[in-house]
């Protein structure tokens, strides 16, 4: 496994690769969710590239860029058995002095996470576009955990005719249902217990739908009631939207994305489920 820190070296190595290249962009502090993407990339590619870059442009002012957990040694040890190249650029390597470009995807970036975190997706699209240009993968792998991110990236790739395939893989969860996330490490034991309410509320939505409830108001109401039983949980939003356009639905139909952001103290967690 080669660990590369410069764009020039990454490009040079890329030119030597033959066959399909699988790429997994991450912000590090890896867990089984990331590893599931790397494993799939490994199974489908001749070469596997993983990037580790905590991207400052996707964090808003007052968000956790500075405190975002980092453990490069542990990340590299986890990747070693499955990865050919780890690309770990510095911030100035990616954003040198004078950097001043944007990639803006339209209305779908303004909803859900985009509404709560203005500018977030602009940071995501610019860094992912740059990484795609540098790594030139055949396929890039994203987690359903960040459902809107996957939709936005797909739209960017389609609209800009980027020459790669986007693969989205299921959310990996802890045994009690909590979606794995690097940010779970911020939770104290009480918050960690309370955080199971996200998945419980998503299961409640699924259960109601399976039993014939189609009013999104009714489902959202019951989810809200359940989450409010947890005094440590503070709801940012609960959305039931079309899984592709991300437009809010009045009536649940197949491929509805039920998604939410909930805060536990200063830790903001997201999760989702698709009803189909």
Q: From the list 7, 10, 23, 26, which residue makes contact with ligand AMP (rule: CB under 6 A)?
A: 26
Select from 95-103, 143-151, 187-195, 227-235 the region that touches ligand AMP (CB under 6 A): 143-151
Q: Does 76 bind ligand AMP (CB under 6 A)?
A: no
- By residue count, the chain amounts to 276
Task: Supply φ then ψ for residue 76, to 5 degrees.
Answer: -65, -40
Q: Which of residues 33-72 bind ligand AMP (CB under 6 A)?
A: 33-34, 36-37
Which residues is 85 bridged to in the sheet?
A: 2, 49
Choice from 179, 240, 269, 270 touching ligand AMP (CB under 6 A): 179
Name the residue whose CB lies closest to ligand AMP.
143
CB 179 to ligand AMP: min, Å = 5
* Shortest separation between residue 37's beta carbon and ligand AMP, angstroms: 6
Please enumerate, as own/partner, the contacts of 101-108 that have beta carbons within 8 Å and a separation of 24 or more: 101/126, 102/126, 103/129, 103/156, 103/160, 105/152, 105/155, 105/156, 105/159, 106/155, 108/148, 108/151, 108/152, 108/155, 108/245, 108/246
HSE-up (13 A, CA, CB side) for residue 42? 13
The nearer residue to ligand AMP, 54 or 227, going by C-beta atoms, is: 54
Provide, rounded to whole angstroms, the least separation between the CB of residue 58 and ligand AMP.
Answer: 9
Give the binding-site size for ligand AMP (rule: CB under 6 A): 16
Which residues are CB-neighbours of 222 under 8 A, at least 6 positions away? 204, 205, 208
Q: How far is the CB of 211 from ligand AMP (least distance, A)?
A: 27
d(CA 159, CA 147): 18
Angle at 249 between CA 244 and CA 251, to 5 degrees: 125
Contact between 172 and ligand AMP by CB under 6 A: the answer reads yes
108 binds ligand AMP (CB under 6 A): no
Pick the piece of the chain touching ligand AMP (CB under 6 A) from 14-22, 177-185, 209-217, 243-251.
177-185
CB hemisphere CA count around 124 (13 angstroms)? 22
Is 221 considered catalytic here? no
Out of 31, 34, 120, 221, pick the active-site residue.
34
Which residue's CB is nearer to ligand AMP, number 220 or number 268? 268
Output 114 or 143, the one with its CB closest to ligand AMP: 143
Stretch that binds ligand AMP, among 31-39, 186-194, 213-221, 243-251 (CB under 6 A): 31-39
Residue whose CB is less far from ligand AMP, 150 or 252? 150
- Phi, psi angles (nearest 5°) of residue 51: -105, 145
Position 75 contacts ligand AMP (CB under 6 A): no
Catalytic site residues?
34
Question: Using CB under 6 A as the criterion, which residues of the chain lie in contact with ligand AMP when the complex forms?
Answer: 26-27, 33-34, 36-37, 142-143, 145-146, 171-172, 179-182
């Amino acid at each position: 496994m080669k660990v590369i820190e410069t764009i020039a070296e990454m490009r040079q190595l890329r030119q030597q690769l033959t066959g399909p290249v699988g790429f997994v962009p991450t912000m590090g502090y890896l867990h089984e969710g990331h590893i599931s993407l790397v494993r799939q990339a490994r199974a489908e590619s001749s070469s596997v590239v993983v990037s580790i870059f905590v991207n400052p442009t996707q964090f808003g002012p007052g968000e956790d860029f500075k405190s975002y957990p980092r453990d490069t040694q542990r990340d590299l040890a986890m990747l070693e058995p499955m990865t050919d190249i780890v690309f770990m650029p510095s911030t100035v390597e990616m954003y040198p002095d004078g950097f001043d470009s944007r990639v803006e995807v339209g209305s779908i970036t303004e909803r859900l996470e985009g509404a709560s975190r203005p500018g977030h997706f602009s940071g995501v699209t610019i860094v992912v576009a740059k990484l795609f240009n540098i790594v030139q993968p055949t396929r890039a792998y994203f987690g359903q955990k960040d459902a809107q991110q996957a939709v936005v990236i797909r739209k960017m790739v389609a609209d800009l005719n980027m020459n790669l395939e986007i693969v989205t893989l299921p959310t990996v969860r802890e045994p009690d249902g909590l979606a794995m996330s690097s940010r779970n490490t911020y939770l104290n034991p009480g918050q960690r217990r309370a955080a199971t309410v996200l998945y419980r509320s998503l299961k409640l939505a699924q259960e109601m739908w399976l039993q014939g409830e189609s009013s999104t108001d009714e489902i959202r109401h019951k989810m809200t009631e359940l989450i409010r039983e947890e005094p440590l949980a503070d709801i940012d939003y609960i959305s039931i939207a079309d899984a592709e356009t991300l437009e809010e639905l009045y009536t649940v139909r197949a491929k509805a994305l039920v998604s939410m952001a909930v805060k536990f103290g200063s830790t903001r967690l997201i999760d989702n489920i698709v009803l189909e």
